[in-house]
Amino acid sequence: MMKNIAVFASGFGSNFEAIIEAANNGTLHANIALLVVDKPACYAVERAHNHNIPVFAFNPKDYDSKEAYEKEIVKQLQAYQIDLVALAGYMRLVGSVLLENYAHRIINIHPALLPSFPGTHSIEKAYNHGVKVFGITIHYVDAGMDTGPIIDQESFKKKEGESVEEVETRIHQLEHQLYPKVLERILNH
Ligand code: GAR
């Protein structure tokens, strides 16, 4: 039986697209069963529509608490029989309701070599810090910000004179390659 993945996003959704692509070309044996977004107008939603993937879009402001909207998310995940949650640019801390219901089944991708540069604007922060080796991290999600056990990392050395935009492009390419591979490993090995 193919496992069901839910992807959570807040923005552009290029990692979501890479995961869909891997499922379509057979390198990832899984159904991309649901997209969850906390920003109903984000571009990831359009990608889901293009691929006929159901979307659960919510606005956190419509709920009294994180617990309240996460209960709603859990209902959706159960309805779609989700086996694994893949955060892909979901810019929100995961709370206790999701963590308790999907323990060890939520993973995240981060555009830095954790534990360095957690949070937002990580690539820019690392670049401005003058790091020579850039990279990405895929890890299990816990209650912290980009903490949790590391599953895999990839890195590369900055080229002489490389701009932050060029570094960013390479980071995203690396993310798009590694995320589907790690999902396949977790689900099917
Ligand atoms: C990705 O680079 C991801 O690693 C990062 O957001 C971007 C989303 O891009 N996540 C974080 O910074 C988490 N702290 P995408 O929407 O095009 O996939």
Confidence of residue 1 (pLDDT cuts 50, 70, 90): confident
Q: How many residues does the chain have?
A: 189
Q: How confident is the model at residue 60 (pLDDT cuts 50, 70, 90)?
A: very high
Helix, coil or strand: residue 85: strand
Query: What residues are paired with 35 via a beta bridge?
Result: 7, 55
pLDDT at 98 over 90: yes
The atom of ligand 1 lying closest to the CA of 9 is 16
C-alpha span between 170 and 158 (Å, rounded) = 10
Q: How far is the CA of 111 from the centre of ligand 1 (A)?
A: 7
Q: Provide residues with CB under 6 Å of ligand 1.
A: 9, 11-16, 88-89, 109-111, 122, 146, 172, 175
What confidence score (pLDDT) does residue 110 get? 98
Q: Which of 110, 121, 176, 189 is catalytic?
A: 110
pTM attached to this predicted model: 0.97
CATH number of the domain enclosing 97: 3.40.50.170
Ligand 1 centroid to 96 CA: how many Å? 22
- Residues 107-159 have pLDDT tens digits of 999 999 999 999 999 999 999 999 999 999 999 999 999 999 999 999 999 99
- Centre of ligand 1 from the C-alpha of residue 26, in Å: 24
Structural domain span for residue 153: 3-188
Exposed, middle or buried, 25 (CB in 10 Å: 0-12/13-18/19+)?
exposed
- What is the residue with the minimal CA distance to atom 1 of ligand 1? 89
Number of folded domains that form the chain = 1
Write down the pLDDT at residue 142.
96
Q: What is the pLDDT of residue 45?
A: 98
What confidence category does residue 189 fall into, taking pLDDT thresholds of 50, 70 and 90?
Answer: confident
For 165-184, the pLDDT digits (tens) are 999 999 999 999 999 999 99
Q: Confirm whether 110 is a catalytic residue.
A: yes
Q: How far apart (Å, rounded) are the C-alpha atoms in residues 7 and 50? A: 15
